[in-house]
Amino acid sequence: MSDIIECRSLGFSYGDGNSKTSVLKNLDIRVKPNEKIAIIGQSGCGKSTLLNLLAGLDMPSEGEVLIDNVNISSLKERQRTELRAKHLGFVFQFHHLLNDFSAIYNTALPLIINHLDKNEALTKAENILKKVGLENRINHKPSELSGGERQRVAIARAMITEPSCLLADEPTGNLDEQNAKEVLDLIIELNSNQNTALLIVTHDLSIANRMSRQLDLTDGCLKEK
């Protein structure tokens, strides 16, 4: 079974000459279908940078990243965007919803952008919002939703394209303990039901312990725990 994401000898640094700072060094990762992986480490260790590199949002200083066996460094920006949209979903610490749009339109947006028929996109959005327990909130705007509800909409938006892998960057970091547990439960449930791999970066060991693999990012290097 082929890897969804693979990186080989991945490195990232910024600056030049004596002011050059290395953030990530010689990393190798493989993400297989249905896997649940946690990348753990202290704040500022480079977890979000690594996630951006794996998603093709940033380009590595060294090594290569493959999505569905395609080296993203060989692609033009538009091709990278299309590959990302096809295979990856994103959930961040902040929901990044559009304030002027209802929950159903925020959720349907990835499909509408990809030119799916609007009514079909809205039907799919309604169905997935029901799965995340928001069937009575589909016409509410973000300002009318609680923090936990907004994050549920963000998860629905990420999963509506049925991505091969969900990338989550501290997705419960802005939530209270109860909402954080419910959101994590939901992510894991959708991961299982949609056969989607999950790669989550976190400093919270209680989250990491629920994943099948844990990778520790320290001093720019990854070690399996």
Q: CA angle, 64 as apex, 60 and 67 as ends, to 5°? A: 110
CB of 38 within 8 A of CB of 214? Answer: yes
Length of the chain: 225
| pLDDT tens, position by position, 43-93 | 777 888 898 898 888 888 899 999 989 998 888 888 888 888 888 888 887
| pLDDT tens, position by position, 169-187 | 888 877 788 878 888 888 8
Residues in CB range of 36: below 8 A, 6 or more apart: 188, 191, 197, 198, 200, 210, 211, 212, 213
| pLDDT tens, position by position, 134-162 | 989 999 999 999 988 998 899 899 889 88
3-state SS track over 16-50: CHHHCEEEEEEEEEEECCCCEEEEECCCCCCHHHH
Q: What is the CATH number of the domain that holds 54?
A: 3.40.50.300
Burial 40-61 (b: 16+ CB within 10 A, else e): bbeeebbbbbbbbbbbbbeebb
pTM of the model: 0.87
Residues in CB range of 93: below 8 A, 6 or more apart: 169, 170, 171, 173, 174
| pLDDT tens, position by position, 8-50 | 999 988 877 667 778 888 999 999 988 999 999 887 778 888 9
As a whole number of angstroms, the distance between CA 176 and CA 155 comes to 17
Share of the chain above pLDDT 70, in %: 99
Q: Identify the domain containing residue 107 by its residue range.
A: 5-14+22-224
Give whole-number Cα distances, 208 to 50, 87, 178, 181, 212, in Å.
Answer: 17, 23, 17, 13, 9
**For residue 1, what pLDDT band results from cuts at 50, 70 and 90?**
low
Q: How many domains does the chain have?
A: 1
Give whole-number Cα distances, 175 to 149, 191, 192, in Å.
Answer: 10, 20, 23
